[in-house]
Amino acid sequence: MPTVTELIKPEKVEAAFQWLKQQRKHFPPNSDIWTLLFHWETEKHRLIQEVLGDTFYFQPLQAVTKANGERLHLWSSRDSLVLKLLAYYLEEVLPKAKCCTHLKSHGGAKATVNQVFHAARHSRFVYRTDVKSFYDSIDHETLLMMLERYVQNKTVLNLLTQYLKRTVESGGNFKSYHKGISSGCPLSPLMGGLYLYELDRAMSTKAVFYRRYMDDIIILVQSRWQLRRAVRCVNTFFERLKLKAHPDQTCIGRIDKGFDFLGYQYIDGKVTVSERALSHHLCRYARLFEQKHNHPNRAALLDAYRQRWLTWVCAGIEQTVVLIVPLNGRGVDENAPITSPLMPA
């Protein structure tokens, strides 16, 4: 079992520091990242001593509103660095199911899509669901009990408890969280993987095709009997972990009627973009169209955005992706001229 000295090994501290610099290189001039960079040698020594002495305490997160209106909770730069160190540490001690593909070295989204579509050719029924507000629904006490099975170091457990029972500051008001985990944090994928690990392990013993990408779950089977047992198993674990399936993202039925998974749709043996993914793309395209209304190179900017999206759609997919997708009775052609999606050419 790694000790606390493994947590703050010099090479890991340096790797976390380089990661933090890359993540926050475009932050505004008044961000605390620049103070940390300027005083790094002093701060590094102080941070290591605090972690070793079990006197490191996370600061309240800051509620930040981005230019596009999105609100997020931001950890301080020192806290983000320690969270990255914790992620390095937990990658070595936490169990990982191979069927949980969002974790590092487990394939990722595109490999998962390929595996699903290959398996769909030899299956008859599909159960696809995800957890409603997964991060916000994670129970702290349940997760801490899971962590205690694999992490015996009290200093690390203390840091993980602080990470879970966080406080957010917004305009002088402080709010403490007693449920859910922080999104946009290097620990979040590991926590999401661990929370449903027992479900992964249970499903891996059954004669079905099962994959989970964070909270997106898909099961492919040959018979209705297998389908009912799989659905019952998932629902049992959800109830035990105080989770709920998202009603709008749950699909149970025959594969020949088609299904969506991770932004793609499988229907009639073909792979295409899901209506939801296409709708999000069109919304972003329309927003960019309006934002760059007076820009002299608007057409080039829109074309570059569209080409990046098309590259993302096709990259890593073994099967040819059909890019004409029906949406509200209309189609989107990758060769269509660049106009506002709200104002057809």
Residue 343 has pLDDT above 50, yes or no: no
Looking at residue 158, its pLDDT comes to 96
pLDDT digits (tens, 9 = 90+) for 85-120: 999 999 999 999 999 999 988 889 999 999 999 999
- What is the overall mean pLDDT for the chain? 89
Distance CA 2, CA 325 (A): 51
Please determine, for residue 291, whether its predicted confidence score (pLDDT) is greater than 90.
Answer: no
pLDDT for 338 beyond 80: no
Nearest CA-CA partner of 191 in 200, 199, 182, 201 = 182
- Per-residue pLDDT tens for 323-332? 654 444 334 4
Widest Cα–Cα separation across the chain: 66
pLDDT at 231 over 70: yes
The whole-number pLDDT of residue 1 equals 62
pLDDT tens digit sequence for 7-43:
999 999 999 999 999 999 999 999 999 999 999 999 9
Per-residue pLDDT band for 258 (boundaries 50, 70, 90) equals very high
Q: How many Å from the N-terminal Cα to the C-terminal Cα in the chain?
A: 63
Cα dihedral across residues 335, 341, 344, 345: positive or negative:
negative
Give the model's pLDDT for residue 328.
40
User: In this predicted structure, what is the pLDDT of residue 118?
Assistant: 92
Q: How far is CA 16 from CA 38, 73, 111, in A?
A: 16, 20, 27
Given a cut of 50, whether residue 208 has pLDDT beyond it is yes
pLDDT at 255: 94
Name residue 271's beta-bridge partners: 266, 321
Radius of gyration of the chain (CA): 23
**Higher confidence at residue 131 or residue 184?**
131
Query: Is the whole-model pTM more than 0.85?
Result: yes
Ranking 56-70, 161-175, 210-224, 242-256 by mean pLDDT, the lowest is: 56-70
User: What percent of the chain stands above pLDDT 90?
Assistant: 76
Q: What is the DSSP string of 254-281?
A: EGGG-EEETTEEEETTEEEE-HHHHHHH
pLDDT of residue 340 exceeding 90, the answer is no
